[in-house]
Amino acid sequence: MKSKKLTALILVGMLLGILVGYLFRQHAGDDAAAIKSFVDGMSILTDIFLRLIKMIIAPLVISTLVVGIAKMGDAKSVGRIGGKTMGWFICASLASLTLGLIMVNILKPGVALNLPLPDMHADSGIKAGAISLKDFVTHAIPKSVFEAMANNEILQIVIFSVFFGSAMAALGERSKALIDVIDVVAHVMLKVTSYVMNFAPLAVFGAIAATVAKEGLSILGTYGKFMAQFYLSIGILWVLLIAVGVLIVGPRLLHLMGMIKEPLLLSFTTASSEAAYPKTLEQLERFGVSNKIASFVLPMGYSFNLDGSMMYCTFAVIFIAQAYGIDLTLAQEISMLLILMLTSKGMAGVPRASLVVIAATLAQFNIPEAGLLLLLGIDHFLDMGRSATNVVGNSVATAVVAKWEGELKRH
């Protein structure tokens, strides 16, 4: 399916989802059983699509990344590109967290919230255990590549692929035949991706209809001010990331933003940046990023460069503190930023990762964890913006590293 046609169908699916979900909610009223049945039915469409995406991600990441690293030629090149990539990720992470902190202090969304606050001792249902360095390291290193593939642990898959691709590069000509075979596998997986994407409009319809039916459009009015302020902050982050990207890559980076509108829309409507991975990789290569850079930086970004999620962490923590009238000193806020800078790197592979990291941070500053209950009802709507931002951040990062390495073709 052609890109423009698919984008149009995704938009149609989104609008129909809003309409159908709203009409059903009006018809069902407060009938919880009927709403649950409808939501479960609609969610099947989204679940099927996301499972298909999960089906192709592991073989796609391994095949493209192994070939990309093998073609780099030596471990020195891998180390150099990896260093530049991580340097960008750290700077982008710091910028995202800092911007969230600045914006929430300027806008003060938690002040005069005009909503009943949850009891301080209420259970949010989010496991608030802090992500330790040991947990992160042991989670990052795979004990079995097959287990990593089965669980779609992207960070573990990346680590295995780096070792495997580097070993192939070290063997030189002896591994050429295997490189060619894996390269064919990569192209096959990209073709499979094009088939899977045909289901995207149905998935978007199901996701939006289920969300609107479950939460109702009235929740957007209740939390309208908070959501508007959050999305304003997200928009400023986009401008910042793209502006820095333009300074490094040049004005043609704006063309890349136009090229990724389909994966952007897909990640936004399904609230899953993972769903956009295959199309983002494809568009980056069409833009001129070499395969070896795109297949290396992009999967790394899905583990270390979740810009939208990180900005949300500082924004949400201070919002909850404001709601409960808890004033934090500048030193405490800077400490929080540095803590989130480290703990957010353990988010990859953790269900509802942003909420888990936020819960752990709240506990460290004696802010009621129950404040998360203020956000749970709108978390899906917020996650839509976070997911789209992650796609923008990783696309810019990949283009920047390609430019630094001289691996960005001119068109």
Contact 255, 287 (CB under 8 A): yes
Query: CB count, 10 Å around CB of 393?
Result: 30
Which residues are CB-contacts of 155 (< 8 A; sequence separation ≥ 6)?
139, 140, 303, 348, 349
For the stretch 108-153, pLDDT in tens is 988 877 667 676 666 555 555 555 556 666 777 888 888 888 887 7
Classify residue 369 by its DSSP letter: G
pTM, entire model: 0.84
The pLDDT value recorded for residue 95 is 93
Torsion region of 325: left, alpha or beta (phi above 0 gives left; psi -120 to 50 gives alpha): left
For the stretch 245-288, pLDDT in tens is 999 999 999 999 999 998 998 889 888 877 888 889 989 999 99
Query: CB count, 10 Å around CB of 61?
Result: 26
The pLDDT value recorded for residue 181 is 92
For the stretch 150-191, pLDDT in tens is 887 777 888 888 888 888 888 888 888 998 899 899 889 888
Distance CA 124, CA 309 (A): 19
Query: CB count, 10 Å around CB of 11?
Result: 14
